[in-house]
Amino acid sequence: MPDSDDAARDRFAALYDLHYSAVLRYAARRIDVEAARDIAAETFLTAWRLLDRVPSEQPLPWLYATARRCMANEFRRQNGRERLDARIRAEAGRGAAAGSELSERVADRLDVLAALDTLLPRDQEALRLIEWEQLDVATAARVLGCSTGTFKVRLHRARRRLARTLDQQSPGRATGASGAALSPAVIKVSREISP
């Protein structure tokens, strides 16, 4: 049995080395950095305990799904919305101090984040998996535990709802605080706003 234990340790070490930073980024884009470290640690603790259930090929979707469940547990214990609001205010404050162009970009991002926040959690997660995590549709579908076809429909509807909300914020077209049309990069909820 010692060889089996060594093999499990080696497999886990390789899994950790390859995917820890991706899981940490995944969590940090949704919660503050300190809590994200805890989520990443809890995700890999779960992976160690359930190592036989972690897919050998493409384990990252399994790790993302596990991190997502860990975050859901965290949100039930604490009010994560307050942290997100504080983070957005801090970003807006930094943007305003750096000049008008940067403050307009931050304001545009805040418009998109505010619109994103009005969407259902499953719509938000579909958009984040594609735009923030840069997953392909099939992989994102595995993270959410649904078929690729179902995910495509969810993603299409989420994008339509986001565009509709942005249009309602500024009737006639999706515009930001600067009055200029929001670029696709801003509508994608730029990864720059994330740690």
**Are both 64 and 120 inside the same structural domain?**
no
Res 36: pLDDT: 94
Residue 120 lies in a domain: yes
**Are both 30 and 106 inside the same structural domain?**
no
Indicate which CATH number applies to the domain containing 33.
1.10.1740
| pLDDT per position as a tens digit, 29-76 | 998 899 999 999 999 999 999 999 999 999 999 999 999 999 988 877
**Are both 65 and 132 inside the same structural domain?**
no
- Higher-confidence residue of 91 and 94: namely 91
**Are both 129 and 174 inside the same structural domain?**
yes
| pLDDT per position as a tens digit, 143-194 | 999 999 999 999 999 999 998 988 888 664 444 444 444 444 444 543 333 4
Res 47: pLDDT: 97
Query: Are 182 and 108 within 8 A, CB to CB?
Result: yes
**Are both 111 and 189 inside the same structural domain?**
yes
**Are both 67 and 105 inside the same structural domain?**
no
Q: What are 175's strand-pairing partners?
A: 181
Residue 161 lies in a domain: yes
**Are both 65 and 104 inside the same structural domain?**
no
Res 4: pLDDT: 79
**Are both 128 and 177 inside the same structural domain?**
yes
Res 186: pLDDT: 47
| Long-range Cβ contacts of 184-192 (<8 Å, 24+ apart) | 186/105, 186/108, 186/109, 186/112, 187/112, 187/162, 187/163, 188/131, 189/109, 189/112, 189/113, 189/116, 189/127, 189/128, 189/131, 189/132, 190/109, 191/29, 191/131, 191/132
**Are both 187 and 103 inside the same structural domain?**
yes
Residue 91 lies in a domain: no
Residue 88 lies in a domain: no
**Are both 115 and 36 inside the same structural domain?**
no
Residue 63 lies in a domain: yes
Res 93: pLDDT: 65
Residue-range definition of the domain harbouring residue 55: 2-77
pTM of the predicted structure, to 2 decimals: 0.57
**Tally of structural domains, the chain:** 2
Res 87: pLDDT: 74
Res 177: pLDDT: 43
**Are both 104 and 187 inside the same structural domain?**
yes
Res 31: pLDDT: 87
| pLDDT per position as a tens digit, 4-22 | 789 999 999 999 999 999 9
Residue 33 lies in a domain: yes
Res 99: pLDDT: 60
Res 5: pLDDT: 85
Give the Cα separation of 192 and 20 in Å (integer): 20
Res 81: pLDDT: 59
Res 176: pLDDT: 44
Res 68: pLDDT: 94
